[in-house]
Amino acid sequence: MRQTPCLASARQGMEVGMFRLVLLALTDAADGASAARVASHIAARHGAGFAVQHVSGPPRQAGGCILHLPTEEDLAARRAGVEALCRTVMPPGLTADVMLCAGFAHVEILKTARVLEPDLLVLGNQGEADDCRRELSGATSDTALLMAETARCPVLVVPAGAPEPTVPFRRILAATDLSDSVEAVLGFAARLAAREGADLRAFHVLPLAPGAPVPSAEYLSRTLAKARERLEYLGRNLPTPRPMAIGAREGEPAVEILKDARESRADLLVLAPGCYGPEAPAAGRLLAGARCPVLLVGPLAQKELARNASAQSKG
């Protein structure tokens, strides 16, 4: 089971994919099966190395959460459990490097990501680990959003009970507020769609504040038409296997994006973590309500992707 990521990625006969190393991060209370299944299948499809980090977070006891280090017996049991999980869900021929540590999940995972420099970080449901982090630190943000804001690679969040990925992604929905992140998000989603052979749909929501006066029908029609034109312009040269579909609606962003994801039967949702701004973040509500994996392309990941694309074009 243990093997270094560089050796695990040396899988002969496979087409080179978008990712060289996929890092899966699990916690004590996470539903690890769905995340492990998605992460390992992505690694196999892209001929990537596969590393698994298990973080033992603060345990919850009567009266609150406490911090303590696991014993050798605890570590042995947890390693056996993680390796058994990997053997159950991994495709044939893929190997994993398993790492164990203790602490706050977002701190330990980001430290590992800085050392290993994965191209994709995959997270499962953080469960009680996220609850304890909020209790002990007073923070309110989701762990996934914290990591997506500071990780140098995209962060894929897999909800509990996600469908088994027996085939590549078929329908990818890229949601955007048409801010500065739009080109990075659409570009990454398009390259992934091309590599996976998936349909790509770009979707924009004109946000309407609850209780605020509804703009005129003429204003809504004109503004949504401009949004569609902008998306069509951005998608004209994207490397998608089929023309990119376009959608735009008015309403509450998270509600409309989730509705469109269900209607279009998307099996992957791609967006920037700060989509629709810090004052009305849609990403947290999307993570809570999504039925499919959500891929967050944060600001540092956007810069890294742009740097890599520039280097490839010069090469």
Alpha-carbon distance values, 30 to 131, 145, 301 (Å): 12, 16, 25
Torsion angle of alpha carbons 216, 221, 224, 226, nearest 10°?
-110
Q: Are 253 and 276 in contact (CB under 8 A)?
A: yes
Q: What is the pLDDT of residues 216-227, one digit of tens each?
A: 999 999 999 999
Query: Please, what's the b/e burial string for 145-165 (b: 16 or more CB within 10 A of its CB; e: otherwise)?
Result: bbbbbbbbbbbbbbbeebeeb
Using DSSP, state whether 221 is helix, strand or coil.
helix
pLDDT at 157 over 90: yes
Q: Where do we find the tokens 């329908």? A: 171
Q: Measured between alpha carbons, how far is residue 57 from residues 130, 140, 141, 271 in Å?
A: 9, 17, 17, 28
Does 3.40.50.620 match the CATH number of domain 5-157? yes
Rg of the chain over all Cα atoms, to the nearest angstrom = 20
Return the axis-axis angle of helices 32-45 and 72-89, rounded to nearest 10°.
Answer: 60
Q: Which amino acid is at 206?
A: L
The pLDDT tens digits for 68-118 are 667 788 888 889 999 999 999 999 999 999 999 888 888 889 999 999 999
The more confidently predicted of residues 227 and 10 is: 227
- For the chain, the average pLDDT equals 83
**CA–CA distances in Å: residue 205 to residues 177, 227, 249:** 7, 9, 5
Greater confidence, 43 or 33? 43
Tokens 């002990």 map to which residue? 136
Count other Cβ atoms within 10 Å, centred on residue 18: 18
Longest dimension (CA), the chain: 67
Length reported for the chain = 315
247's CB contacts (< 8 A; 6+ apart) are: 201, 202, 203, 204, 260, 264
- The beta-strand segments (E) located in the chain are 21-27, 49-56, 60-61, 64-65, 97-102, 120-123, 155-157, 171-176, 199-207, 245-251, 268-271, 294-296
Q: Select from 3.40.50.800, 3.40.50.620, 3.40.710.10, 3.30.429.10 the CATH code of 171-314.
A: 3.40.50.620
Amino acid 265 reads: R
Tokens describing residue 260:
């469109």
Q: What local confidence, expressed as pLDDT, does residue 133 receive?
A: 47
Provide the pLDDT confidence category of residue 173 given band limits of 50, 70 and 90: very high
- Give domain limits for the chain: 5-157, 171-314
Total-model pTM: 0.87
- 183's CB contacts (< 8 A; 6+ apart) are 234
